[in-house]
Amino acid sequence: MQRLVFAFVFAVSLSLAPLASADQNNFEQCRQIFANGEPPLIKQQEARQLRALCFTAFAVLHSGQSRTPLYVAERLSRKTLQGAHEKRKDKFFADARLPRAERAELDDYKGSGYDRGHMAPAADMTTPESMAQSFSLANMVPQAPRNNRKAWAGIESATRKYVIRAKGDVYVISGPVFDAAPATIGANRVWVPDHLFKLVYDPSTNQAWAHWIDNQDMAKVGKPISYPELVKRTGISFLPNFSGS
């Protein structure tokens, strides 16, 4: 089945730290979050209304078509995760840097039967501002509740455990994958993903792999797929200069 993949970047104006405006594909203020400072390369951008958003601890490429992130990128390390002891805030909000016609609103999720699923996990955040920013709806996708709280939470936890064992920085990119005719929620018709992915790249070993999971309550965590397979399935070159395994 033909799929459209959308990675979404969400940025929040919280007056806590200077953040980039929602300029299309402009990550100049947060290129350090990406491996070698190079954001992913995406095909067929014209209809997606893409906007790049820089946060304190992550970066989002947001799609005004799906009203979700296309992908969310993080740069993690043992040092950053060992400092991740911020209390979870649970104060979700619509991202004011996105035009109203391109964003999800809180009401879209109410009564939908879906969780507001983080792409950059709150548990990865190490400061009050990054914790607050992680609850932007630009960082959320409609996610099956049990999937979000069980299988996907397990993937997030396993990724953190790997990062703590790694020798240096690890780059993580998460996002949704949509069918050609996705289901929607709310008055703004926020797209519901068919699948979710989480790419992990460790420069110290020059290895990259991806977790791939159905967005269903009964979905099970399977064996990771290869980086080339993820690129094939999504049409996105997440690591433009990667030549490893």
* Alpha carbon distance 167, 177 (integer Å): 31
Of 198, 213, 203, which is closest to residue 245 (Cα–Cα)? 203
**Any idea how long the chain is?**
245
Of 152, 162, 167, 76, which is closest to residue 116 (Cα–Cα)? 152
The amino acid that residue 141 corresponds to is V
- Point out the catalytic residue in the list 62, 118, 195, 211: 118
| Whether 171 contacts 74, CB under 8 Å | yes
Helices (runs of H) and strands (runs of E) counted in the chain: 6, 14
* Alpha carbon distance 226, 134 (integer Å): 28
Pair type for strands 207-214 and 195-202: antiparallel
Q: Quick one: residue 223, left, alpha or beta (phi over 0 = left, psi -120 to 50 = alpha)? A: beta
Of 174, 190, 173, which is closest to residue 65 (Cα–Cα)? 190
Which of 107-125 are b and which e, b meaning 16 or more Cβ less than 10 Å from the residue's Cβ? ebbeeeebbbbbbbbbbbb
| Cα-Cα end-to-end distance for the chain | 27
Per the annotation, the verdict on 85 as an active-site residue is no
Q: Which residues are catalytic?
A: 118
